[in-house]
A and B are shown apart, each in its own frame.
Chain A
Amino acid sequence: MPAPRYRSRTLRRVHVRTPGGTSKIQYRKRNPKVAKCSKCEAKLKGVPRGRPYKMMQMAKTKKRPERPYGGILCSKCLKKLMIDRARKEK
């Protein structure tokens, strides 16, 4: 039976093979949720999920697509937005 603080599933379990050959359970914090488009809530591609310390290690260009509203809107919603803007100008 694990210790009381490890009985809930707030921490994820990782099986790790030790140098001695036995496998052991490590308790690690869970990753944040997948980034979603703020308009249609579709999962965003090209946006990694990781704890803040992992995100800090990455370059800015690795954390989001290189386009306007990259990492906030999905490409489809961006296209709609752009077209709407263009047609309003007319």
Chain B
Amino acid sequence: MIEIGRLCLKTAGRDSGGKCVIIDIVDDKYVMIDGETRRRKCNVAHLEPLKEVVKISKGASHEDVKRAFKELGLKVKDTKPKEKKEKPLKQRGKKKKKAEEGKKGKKAAKKEVKKEAKKEPKKADKKAPEKKEKE
């Protein structure tokens, strides 16, 4: 039953319920599959072989599987390959410095505000007694 081109149903895991085709036989336990599932290695125990056999060569590409599935009237799951991103280089101490600067900035701003707040009432107090003296 387990042969290249055999249509199967995946019965376990995230892809369960999807139909797939055996592309390659790894050993007596594992096969490579593709189709409505992700293209991946799979345990034979997790597959339920179906009636149909698709004409496919060993190690068929994803495009070949797509064509074969189109004839059967099935959709194929396309996995987008991840775009390669450059890893951000670690820069020693830069983050900390920035954070400290930010904190300092905030602290300084708060202090200034407090100073102003302190100054204002004092001035008011001073002015008030002066006025009284004048009177």
Contact = CB atoms under 8 A, between A and B. Distances in A.
Interface of A: 66-68, 75, 78-79, 82-83, 85-87, 89-90
Contacts of A79: 11-12, 16
Contacts of B17: 68, 82
Contact of A86 (B12, B13, B14, B50): B50
A60 to B, nearest CB: 14
Contacts of A85: 9
Main secondary structure of the interface of A (DSSP, over half): helix
Contacts of B24: none
B14 A78 contact: no
Main secondary structure of the interface of B (DSSP, over half): loop
Interface residues of B, number: 11
Contacts of A66: 14
Interface in B9-62: 9-14, 16-17, 48, 50-51
Contacts of B14: 66-67
12 contacts: A67-B14, A68-B16, A68-B17, A78-B12, A78-B16, A79-B11, A79-B16, A82-B11, A83-B9, A85-B9, A86-B48, A89-B50
